[in-house]
Amino acid sequence: MHYNPAMDDHRWLHWAQQLQAIAQTGNHFAVNDFDRQRYGVVRQVAAEMLAAGSGADPRVIEGLFAAEDGYATPRLDVRAAVFRDDRVLLVKERADGLWTLPGGFADVGDSPSLAAEREVKEEAGFEVRAVKLAALFDRNRQGHTPFPWHQWKVLFLCEILGGEATPSIETEAVEFFDLAALPPLSQGRTTAQQVRLMFEHHRDRARPTSFD
């Protein structure tokens, strides 16, 4: 199991995610009941670690892990940075009442850029075109709140083609914000550091893609 010192604050999360992935992949390739039983124990340990670190019910975490099948890979969260008059587009999530860059998990069949464009349309009402891959991040290294599965975050710069600010079943408000006046952010989805970085990419389109 690989240890990365950059994730000292959430080593338990990294370990739990890796144990879950080992259990899921191992169970997928297991050829007998003994192996499946042992991978089930590994999965349970991962769930208990995650529950202990996050305060969640271990039975709920175990149920989530048990529903996963196949070879374990990182999930892909796609976010769009859209600007107007040097202000960034944010949406207010109904789930927690906090603000974020529009986005979510990529759907099967979408290209990454199409996923970003679709999320802006669905969550904010604007038709946009992705013009730059600004960043590709490991979520574990970005200061987000804990999440059960390993996740990568893809951030695109997008240009507005049309439409108007329109909330959705997932969002209750849509607004543009100055960098110096950002609202409270939904830390599981978007961090202030990521928004600041998107401003830098917006102001310098030649800036190389950020990654870790």
The residues, any chain, with a CB within 8 Å of residue 13's CB and separated by 6 or more, are 7, 50, 53, 140, 146, 147
Average pLDDT, the chain: 91
Domain boundaries, given as residue ranges, for the chain: 5-66, 75-211
Asked if residue 2 has pLDDT above 50, the reply is no
For the stretch 62-101, pLDDT in tens is: 888 888 889 888 889 999 999 999 999 999 999 999 999 9
| Residues 6 or more apart in contact with residue 91 via CB below 8 angstroms | 99, 100, 101, 102, 123, 124, 167, 170, 171, 173, 174
Mind listing the pLDDT tens digit for each residue in 34-63? 999 999 999 899 989 988 988 888 888 888
Q: Which overall architecture, per CATH, does domain 75-211 show?
A: Alpha-Beta Complex (3.90)
| pLDDT of 145 over the 70 cut | yes
Entry pTM: 0.77
Distance CA 7, CA 10 (A): 6
Separation CA 40–CA 35 (nearest Å): 8
Which pLDDT score is estimated for 3? 36
For the record, the structure tokens of 116 come out as 């970003």
**Residue at 35: amino acid letter:** D
Q: Show the tokens assigned to 90.
A: 């944010």
